[in-house]
Amino acid sequence: MKKILTKGEFEKIKMIKPSTDLQIQFAQIVEKTEVLKEQYKSSLQELENLYGSLSQRAFKGELTINKAE
């Protein structure tokens, strides 16, 4: 059975409260991280599509090897 935390017990718990500036800075970092994550997901999807297309063309014999001069 789980013990119920009383108000008095809860108030005895020491909690850290970062400054507002630090909270804002953290939120900005999280936001930038989420943007980068979405960009990487998009890039990965595009690479997977290109790989699939290239593989299909290779198996169909549609690719040729040209030497760059």
The 10s digit of each residue's pLDDT in 51-68 is 999 999 988 988 877 765
| Token reading at 28 | 């900005």
> Quick check: 61 and 55 in contact, CB under 8 A?
no
Mean pLDDT in the chain?
Answer: 92
Residue 19 amino acid letter? S
The pLDDT of residue 32: 99
> Cα(12)–Cα(1) distance, rounded to whole angstroms?
22
Domain ranges of the chain: 7-60
Helix, strand or coil for residue 68?
A: coil
The 10s digit of each residue's pLDDT in 28-42 is 999 999 999 999 999
For residue 69, pLDDT over 70 is answered with: no
